Structure 1
Amino acid sequence: MRKLLIKNGFVASVDPTIGNIANGDVLISGDRIEEVGRDLEVTDAEIVDATDCIVMPGFVDAHKHIWQGAAVRAYCTDWSLDDYVNYIRLNVAAAFGAEDMYAVQLHGAFEAMNAGVTTAADYCHNIHSPDHAHEAIRGLQDSGMRVVWNYGFNYPPLENPVFKTFDDRVAFGRDVAKTHFSSKDQLLTLGIAPEELQHALDNDTLSGQFNLARELGAHIFWHCNSKKPLGIRIPRGVARVHDLGLLGDDILFVHMSATEEDEWKMVADCGASVVFTPDTELQMGMMWPSGDIAKRYGITQSYGTDITSNNSADMFTALRLGLQTTRCRVIDREDLLGSGVPFTCEEALRWGTIDGAKALGLESAVGSLTPGKKADLVFLNTKSLSLVGWDRSNVAGTIILQGQTADVDSVMVNGRFVKRHGKMVGDVARVCELLEAARARISETIEQWGGRVLNEGESDRRMAAMRSSESGTFARG
């Protein structure tokens, strides 16, 4: 078994029993961490010099729609949530072919790893056909990234949908699980992303999606209580699944800004987790992250980058926004004065590593530099212009409030370098060429359809089609 000895780095383990170790070493055997300490004596290992580097666990991006990446980069930067639903979900999404799904998934994983993300929850809710699913998964497999791939029950309205009924989608979910996720010890694992409540799901359909996840042993990822429609109605999605007996510790609730107090208690009581995506939430009226509420109830909170069609793919930005907006919210509400802040950078570092891993159900495998866990590591170059002179007494503060993608020197997933000395190890030129080709195809198709923006009547017509529990069929024009 190949061994690597990472020598003389500043080890930020995010493991309370190990702590931070200046001039520390990490011994890796195969795909796992074997030992963490100082001056490790090993004679049969390849030496990796980590001098002038912070060595930390890879970031865990707990909510990301990888398909909605660079092929539609920046489409949403000046859009509201309603614009996003009307123009991406009801229009642009349908322009993706199966080969486009391969290209965007491959590129999106490369982009994330380049930024120091080693694990992501990929909420793949653009599965038009079996080929779309297979190619999306193949793109991730070829990337070498660790991903929980969510089989999404959402789908755009299509002229000739492959899946005619809800039962068709359930049957294909079982097929996907058998075809791609039969092994437990693999980089890709399966999740299920049920449809949102605004699609007017009946109880049997909603329960069927949650129950399929339990049948397949898949974690559940659910857009929930994202906002108050018209500022009046309360979504109460948590209460709905509670009343149906569907709550469990295998659920990661996404966004959650319109969640009421009794629902927060329901989440805490069942041991479920939450994930916030500050970039999109702040822009699109899903409000600020509810990190203070999650902390008050003892709920595991995690963070994600959501959509590269809107914002960047790096967790430095997501965690920084999440921390600072939550600090500001609490300080303003409680009129805090004097020394200190309500949340620390140490907490934010946990949100992006071990807490993210726990939210995905992967805390036994990743999220900290702990012997026995998978060797998913990031090296930050402390001789960069943005980190030089860093505060050795507060490594979490340096990472969260000072770090950036340009500081990511090396990245390791499963004991293998995917980025080394500032450059990705794979064929980046091919990845970018495939992405550009996909972008061109998608853009041309959208232009043939009349552009990204739909008029109000057409949006309403397509929303009605998407809410159909059977086919989601509509005729263009």
Structure 2
Amino acid sequence: MRSTLLASLAGYTGAALSASVLLSGGTIIAFDEDTNFLNVIRDGALLVTDDRIAGIYEEASPKGIPVDAEIVDCTHKIITPGFIDTHRHGWQTAFKTLGSNTTLAEYFMTFSSYAAGPLYTAEDVYESQLAGLLEALNAGVTTTLDHAHNMWSTERAEAGLDASIESGARVFWAPALDPTYDYSVPDQINDWKRWNRRSFPNDLVTLGIAYDGWDVGAPEDTQAVAQLIKDAKPAVLTIHWLGGVWPIDSSPSLVHSFGVLNTSTAVVFSHGPGLTAAQAELLRATNQFISITPESEMHYGHGHTFSHLVHEQAALGVDTHLTFSTDIITQARLWLQRTRSRLFDEVMHHWDIPSRNPSWCPSYFSPPGACSQLGTSLSVNQAFLLATRQGALALRRPDLGVIKVGAKADLVIFDGRTPGMLGWADPVAAVILHANVGDITHVLVDGKFVKRNGKLTYAKYAELVERFLASAEKIRKDFLKKPLPVLTGSFFGAEGYAFYGSAKDVDVVRGKGTGYGPLFRGADDKTTANVAAPGSRHDEL
């Protein structure tokens, strides 16, 4: 029989006795490094001391706990590591619900950094970034890689950084070095160097770099960014990578030609619909990752060609939370079923009946190591790892995304007796297939409660709400004054090979149908209800 004390952090430096919390009586989805897989502990306990997991126990009331430790009853609850979002644009929160039918091509003309810059002040960026990160924390997203392309001026860029610090979230803040308006790449690099010397009040915010100009940027800018990466060795570099039908490259092989792929810097390629076997092998050889953003890529029409073939070098992201869900649970669920569906289709294409779920993996009652690890397809266990540990590995932070002794105490506690969770047996399946944001009772980041008893602990949230709503209303009114794009011909001047095409409309109303219908974009429906969605059939509105 295993020892009651599975692990302890005896002698952990900085473990102040007055800063301990015992999560008692819950079902813990821990990580076993011996089997390299999940380990479910029922009716156990988890000790947090300062910012770390100091002990994991097989009983709810273990001995040897600090006498002044706070006891938090987690009976009937599920304890998971915090979820990790490897691709997000936090500043876009103010646009929420305005892009419900937008394609990616339309997005470039409406909500992208280039299009949105004139609408935002520094105060707008701050409120939007802060509100968006608190929204993510409420959903159990404890770590975010923020591709911060709000680089319109020093002041507006810094507003996103300051809001990230204020949020209490763990943020890898990666400002996008890209010339916008009167803010050149050399000026941005000078600001980045100054930010890199800045002393942050906690270790939750880490400075990274985002750059998308590898194939389209000015050569002198690209060389300067590459040199900055080599010299400064930022923790992370993040890149939008499309390819495929999109005449935008920034592929691993192209980035590798600049000498920045096989370094100590973690590189995260977002999306990657143009993935090829050669690019996949390069990701494996350099241990770099793609960020699959399932809801975004389905919503906008990025395409999903071969992403499901590189799960061992993949993590999950949200992308533009202005248009859809902000939580990683939803992304894991969608990607799980998207992957299953496409592989089932391959079987049925040959007029065969699927006999099992692809790459089926035994559930919680099977012995450790009894199933395959991340492979071609997905089980709920693998989807869970994509949402947690894989994101940490993409950021080269093995102390995140797992429950193990010594890991950062970034934790999410689900109420197992909500109507949607009631009756669960497998805690991993319960979280991946049944849970929603409303089931999350507590969230801890760095050992501190950022959500407790179902509510955010951010003390100034009510004040933020009022400031943010005023900012969002102003931005929305200015946005609605702009004409919607009409996309014809070829994509951004890519003559001869990248033409716009229309997907078939599908209606739920008999007869002539309604098309997309109006977008209800504001309180004054007299002026906004009849504004057609991008891509809608204007003649039917």
Relative to the length of structure 1, the TM-score reads: 0.87
1:176-200 deviation per Cα after TM superposition (whole angstroms, max 9, x unaligned): 211256x8x70000111002456x2
Tell me which residue corresponds to 1:153.
177
1:194 lines up with 2:211 in the alignment: yes
Q: Letter of the aligned partner of 1:118 in structure 2?
A: T
Tell me which residue corresponds to 1:286.
302
Return the alpha-carbon distance in structure 2 between the equivalents of residues 344 and 127 of structure 1: 39
Name the CA shift for 1:246/1:382 in 2 (closer, same or farther; >3 Å).
same
Name the CA shift for 1:211/1:37 in 2 (closer, same or farther; >3 Å).
farther
Once the two structures are TM-superposed, the CA of residue 300 in structure 1 deviates from its matched residue by 2.3
Is the Cα–Cα contact under 8 Å of residues 74 and 308 in structure 1 kept in the other structure? no
1:353-402 deviation per Cα after TM superposition (whole angstroms, max 9, x unaligned): 11111112222x211111111111100000100001012xx221111111
Tell me which residue corresponds to 1:474.
none
Name the CA shift for 1:151/1:294 in 2 (closer, same or farther; >3 Å).
same
Is the Cα–Cα contact under 8 Å of residues 26 and 78 in structure 2 kept in the other structure? yes
1:175 lines up with 2:208 in the alignment: no
Return the alpha-carbon distance in structure 2 between the equivalents of residues 48 and 462 of structure 1: 59
Is the Cα–Cα contact under 8 Å of residues 257 and 289 in structure 1 kept in the other structure? yes
Match of 1:118, SS state, is strand
Q: Letter of the aligned partner of 1:349 in structure 2?
A: F
Tell me which residue corresponds to 2:97.
74
Is the Cα–Cα contact under 8 Å of residues 105 and 139 in structure 1 kept in the other structure? yes
Q: Which range is displaced more, 93-102 or 207-216? A: 207-216
Name the CA shift for 1:334/1:396 in 2 (closer, same or farther; >3 Å).
same
Return the alpha-carbon distance in structure 2 between the equivalents of residues 337 and 36 of structure 1: 40
Q: Letter of the aligned partner of 2:72 in structure 1?
A: V
Once the two structures are TM-superposed, the CA of residue 332 in structure 1 deviates from its matched residue by 2.0
Tell me which residue corresponds to 1:305.
318
Q: Letter of the aligned partner of 2:456 in structure 1?
A: M
Name the CA shift for 1:35/1:94 in 2 (closer, same or farther; >3 Å).
same
Name the CA shift for 1:235/1:30 in 2 (closer, same or farther; >3 Å).
closer
Equivalent residue pairs, number: 442
1:19 lines up with 2:39 in the alignment: yes
Match of 1:438, SS state, is helix
Q: Letter of the aligned partner of 1:312 in structure 2?
A: S
Is the Cα–Cα contact under 8 Å of residues 340 and 357 in structure 2 kept in the other structure? no
Tell me which residue corresponds to 1:209.
225
Tell me which residue corresponds to 1:242.
256
Matches within 5 A, 1:125-144: 125-144=149-168
Once the two structures are TM-superposed, the CA of residue 462 in structure 1 deviates from its matched residue by 12
Once the two structures are TM-superposed, the CA of residue 289 in structure 1 deviates from its matched residue by 7.0
Name the CA shift for 1:223/1:114 in 2 (closer, same or farther; >3 Å).
same
Tell me which residue corresponds to 2:451.
419
Unaligned 5+ segments in structure 2 are 1-15, 360-377, 495-541
Tell me which residue corresponds to 2:469.
436
Return the alpha-carbon distance in structure 1 between the equivalents of residues 248 and 175 of structure 2: 27
Return the alpha-carbon distance in structure 2 between the equivalents of residues 106 and 236 of structure 1: 30
Match of 1:19, SS state, is strand
**Which of the numbers 391, 407, 415 marks the counterpart of 1:356?**
391
Return the alpha-carbon distance in structure 2 between the equivalents of residues 131 and 180 of structure 1: 18
Is the Cα–Cα contact under 8 Å of residues 275 and 307 in structure 2 kept in the other structure? no
Tell me which residue corresponds to 1:475.
none
Once the two structures are TM-superposed, the CA of residue 444 in structure 1 deviates from its matched residue by 3.5
Is the Cα–Cα contact under 8 Å of residues 288 and 326 in structure 1 kept in the other structure? no
Tell me which residue corresponds to 1:221.
238
Q: Letter of the aligned partner of 2:258 in structure 1?
A: L
Match of 1:195, SS state, is coil
Tell me which residue corresponds to 2:538.
none
Name the CA shift for 1:236/1:146 in 2 (closer, same or farther; >3 Å).
closer
Is the Cα–Cα contact under 8 Å of residues 412 and 418 in structure 1 kept in the other structure? yes
Once the two structures are TM-superposed, the CA of residue 413 in structure 1 deviates from its matched residue by 0.6
Once the two structures are TM-superposed, the CA of residue 166 in structure 1 deviates from its matched residue by 2.4
Return the alpha-carbon distance in structure 1 between the equivalents of residues 221 and 318 of structure 2: 29
Name the CA shift for 1:376/1:86 in 2 (closer, same or farther; >3 Å).
same
**Which of the numbers 360, 378, 383 marks the counterpart of 2:412?**
378
Tell me which residue corresponds to 2:517.
none
Work out which structure has the larger RCO, using CA pairs closer than 8 Å and 6 or more positions apart in sequence: 1
1:64-102 deviation per Cα after TM superposition (whole angstroms, max 9, x unaligned): 111112x10022211111100011223223311101111
Is the Cα–Cα contact under 8 Å of residues 247 and 270 in structure 1 kept in the other structure? yes
Return the alpha-carbon distance in structure 2 between the equivalents of residues 439 and 356 of structure 1: 31
**What is the percentage of aligned positions where both structures have the same residue?**
27
Structure number having the greater helix percentage = 1
1:388 lines up with 2:402 in the alignment: no
Tell me which residue corresponds to 2:356.
339
CA RMSD of aligned residues (A): 2.4
Return the alpha-carbon distance in structure 2 between the equivalents of residues 180 and 440 of structure 1: 34
Tell me which residue corresponds to 1:453.
484
Is the Cα–Cα contact under 8 Å of residues 392 and 401 in structure 2 kept in the other structure? yes
**Larger gyration radius, structure 1 or structure 2:** 2
Is the Cα–Cα contact under 8 Å of residues 117 and 152 in structure 2 kept in the other structure? no
1:105 lines up with 2:129 in the alignment: yes
Tell me which residue corresponds to 1:471.
none
Return the alpha-carbon distance in structure 1 between the equivalents of residues 199 and 383 of structure 2: 34
Name the CA shift for 1:245/1:107 in 2 (closer, same or farther; >3 Å).
same
Relative to the length of structure 2, the TM-score reads: 0.77
Return the alpha-carbon distance in structure 2 between the equivalents of residues 325 and 288 of structure 1: 10
**Which of the numbers 22, 25, 36 marks the counterpart of 1:5?**
22
Name the CA shift for 1:269/1:179 in 2 (closer, same or farther; >3 Å).
same
**Which of the numbers 86, 105, 128 marks the counterpart of 2:109?**
86
Return the alpha-carbon distance in structure 1 between the equivalents of residues 137 and 248 of structure 2: 37
Return the alpha-carbon distance in structure 1 between the equivalents of residues 128 and 300 of structure 2: 24
1:212-271 deviation per Cα after TM superposition (whole angstroms, max 9, x unaligned): 233323211111125413xxx683722222333332262111100112221111111111
Return the alpha-carbon distance in structure 2 between the equivalents of residues 255 and 138 of structure 1: 27
